[in-house]
Amino acid sequence: MRGALGKRAVLRAGYAIVVSVLVLSAVEAYRIQTIASRQHLEIYRHYVDQDQLLSTVRLNIWLAGNYIRDFFIDPTPERADAVRSQISALRQENKSVLDRLARASDEREDIPKLRRSVDEFWTIVEPVPGMLHATHQEHYDFVQREIVPRRGELYTALRALTATDQQRLETIEGEFGNARRQASGRLLVMLVAGVLLSLLVARHSLRHAENLEKQAECHYAAVEQAKGELQQLSARLLEIEEEGKRKLSRELHDEIGQTLALLQIEVSRAQTLPGTQSEALRESLARAHEMAERTVQTIRNMALLLRPALLDDLGLVPALQFLLEDFLRRSHIATEFLEDGVADHFPDGVKTCVYRVLQEALHNCEKHSGATRVRVAVRQFPEYLLLEVEDNGRGFSLNAQGMPLKTSGLGLLGIRERAANSGGTLTIDSAPGHGTRIALRVPLPSMSPPPPGARAVPPAREVTA
């Protein structure tokens, strides 16, 4: 018992660990997926934001160059004011963009360098609106000497920043990939551990189930053996009981019955002797004779109840007919007896089984059914003998085993056990208000055909009150 409890505890612990590993694996997989998605989104968002800011700086420098070129083509005071405001707006926007770049990349050293280069560019182009009276050659020289080189340097610096950002993006993606692979490796280890543990628990469960199945088979075999032994014991007890009833019936009929019969004869003889003419003596002898006659009848009835001599002397059918006639005499219930091809002689076990089943069925009908009519049929087939008892009484409800739901006696259970000991089957069919039908099927051993001149099968007969 303790071993079984220990195995159950181990199995429960194993199942709990397997479930825990699976839950942790699911949580880890969800965490990896969530972190990976968030980090991937942050990486690309950061790269896109920086690329957009650098593109804005590049665009503003390009626009400043275009504004200066247009101003040098047609230098007028109005254009000078427009260029001054445009350059101021572009410078402020670049300052704001560089501030955002600096906040987004605190550790980068190339952002301050870019800021200084951009500030130098705006410082150089700041006096352009005041060059209203310069010649075209001076304008051209200023553009070629100051604007073009500075703008080229800024474009180069911006392309370098973009390339650096791309390289950083690739580096971060590599680190992110390594971290994800490491996390996936941890998850794989957990899953492998869960699978191995599941296999171990499954193996232990199968072994435990096999052991339980073997134990169940052993217990079932033991129960079947005990059941067989009980059936053998029951059959042996029934044989002993029938043998005892037979001997007691013989003793009652042969010894006590004959003694009482002799007593009747002696009393009758005493009544005819001289000197017995006294009225008191005659009355005493008459009472003694009557008592002896009643006692003989009682002894005969007791012998019939224990074991009818007809069953051993004349066979099954006469014994059943006598049983029905006695039932009719006691209960005044109309009876019908049908016989179909029943032989004179059967093994003692078959005769006893059929007789006792009919005896118990008639007893229950008389005591409980309230029937007004009973039909009994006995039919012999090549392989079995069939007894059917039907009445039109009140009936009763049956359980799943085909036995009455409410019963206080053991009569039906006893005849079912007797039928089983004879190798037969007993079927009870009943319902409230629909009467009862009891069918007994007893297998027959191989029997030789009846000798010539045997008793002919009588037609069906009906016995009524």
What pLDDT score was predicted for residue 4? Answer: 57
What pLDDT score was predicted for residue 81? Answer: 85
Domain ranges across the chain: 2-206, 309-463
State the fold for domain 309-463: Heat Shock Protein 90 (3.30.565)
Using alpha carbons, select from 67, 66, 72, 98 the residue that is nearest to residue 84: 67
pTM: 0.46
What pLDDT score was predicted for residue 187? Answer: 78
Segment 114-144, tens digit of pLDDT: 777 788 888 888 888 888 777 878 777 777 8
Radius of gyration of the chain (CA): 59
Strand order, beta sheet including 461-463: 425-430, 436-443, 384-391, 373-380, 334-340, 461-463
What's the mean per-residue pLDDT of the chain? 76
Torsion angle of C-alpha atoms 288, 289, 293, 298, degrees rounded to 10: 0
What pLDDT score was predicted for residue 405? Answer: 64
How many whole angstroms separate alpha carbon 18 and alpha carbon 354? 64
Compute mean pLDDT per 10 residues along the chain, 465 residues long, and list them: 62 75 76 71 74 81 82 82 86 83 68 78 81 79 79 77 76 76 80 81 80 86 78 64 62 63 70 63 71 72 64 80 86 88 80 85 84 90 90 81 63 79 85 87 69 41 43
Q: Which position has the token pair 């009973």?
A: 374
Residues sharing a CB contact under 8 Å with residue 334, sequence separation 6 or more, in sequence order: 328, 372, 373, 374, 462, 463, 464, 465
What pLDDT score was predicted for residue 258? Answer: 67
What pLDDT score was predicted for residue 321? Answer: 87
Q: Which position has the token pair 């009919």?
A: 358
How many whole angstroms separate alpha carbon 361 and alpha carbon 391? 10
What pLDDT score was predicted for residue 61? Answer: 82
Distance (Å) of CA 221 to CA 213, 225, 230: 12, 6, 14
What pLDDT score was predicted for residue 465? Answer: 41
Residues sharing a CB contact under 8 Å with residue 284, sequence separation 6 or more, in sequence order: none
How many whole angstroms separate alpha carbon 398 and alpha carbon 429? 8
Helical pair 411-421 and 148-250, crossing angle rounded to 10 deg: 90
What pLDDT score was predicted for residue 246? Answer: 62
User: Distance between the two ends of the chain, CA-based, in angstroms?
Assistant: 66
Alpha carbon 344 to its chain's center: 55
Put residue 208 in one of left, alpha, beta given phi > 0 → left and psi -120 to 50 → alpha.
alpha
- Tally the residues of the chain: 465
User: Do the bridges between strand 334-340 and strand 373-380 make them parallel or antiparallel, or are there none, so unpaired?
Assistant: parallel
- Report the SS3 class of residue 110: helix
